[in-house]
Copies of this chain bind each other. A is one copy, B any other.
Amino acid sequence: MSDHQLHEALEMLRESGVRITPQRHAVLEFLIKSMTHPTADDIYKALEGKFPNMSVATVYNNLRVFREIGLVRELTYGDSSSRFDCNTSEHYHIICSSCGKIVDFHYPSLEEVESLAEQVTGFDVSHHRMEVYGTCDGCKKVKQH
C-alpha cells in the first residue's frame, strides 16, 4: 500500500525534474510510512542514524520541495512547530488536546461552507481547513485514575 504511494511520489518528483537523492528519498519514505504527522525535527532525529552527516536544513529544504510540488501538506497548530502530512487525499484531522495525537477521519467535503463564504465575503475560495479537538481514548483513561 504505502510502497505504491512511495512509487507514485517518486514518479511525481521525476516529472517535476527534482533529483532523487538518498536523503530526499529517505525523508519521503519516512513521511509516507509514518502514520503520525511528524515535525521536521522528528524526521531529522529518525534519520540521523542512517545519515549521520545530514543537516536539519536538508530536511527543511526537502519538505519545502515536497510542499511546492503538492506532495505534502504543512499543518500548523498552536504548538511551536509545523507538522507534515503526506496523505494528500481529502481528509480531516482530530487532535488530542492532552497528548497531541493526531488521527485522520473522513467526512464529505464542506462545499456548502465554501460557497456561502464566497457569497458573503466576495472572495474567490480556493480551499478550507478544519480540525476537531478533544481527548483521545488513552488520555481519557489516564484521567479517570
Residues of A within 8 A of B (CB): 74, 76-78, 92, 94, 96-97, 103, 105-107, 110, 113-114, 116-118, 120-137, 140
Known: A105-B121, A117-B134. 19 other contacts (CB 8 A): A76-B76, A76-B77, A94-B117, A94-B121, A105-B116, A110-B110, A110-B113, A110-B130, A113-B130, A113-B132, A118-B134, A122-B136, A122-B137, A124-B134, A126-B133, A126-B134, A127-B133, A128-B132, A129-B131
Given A78-B74, A78-B76, are A125 and B132 neighbors across the interface (CB < 8 Å)? yes
Across the interface, name the chain B residue whose C-beta is closest to A140.
B124
Interface contact A124-B133, CB-CB below 8 Å: no
Q: Please, how many angstroms separate the alpha-carbon atoms of A130 and B107 in the complex?
A: 14
**Identical chains bound together, number:** 2
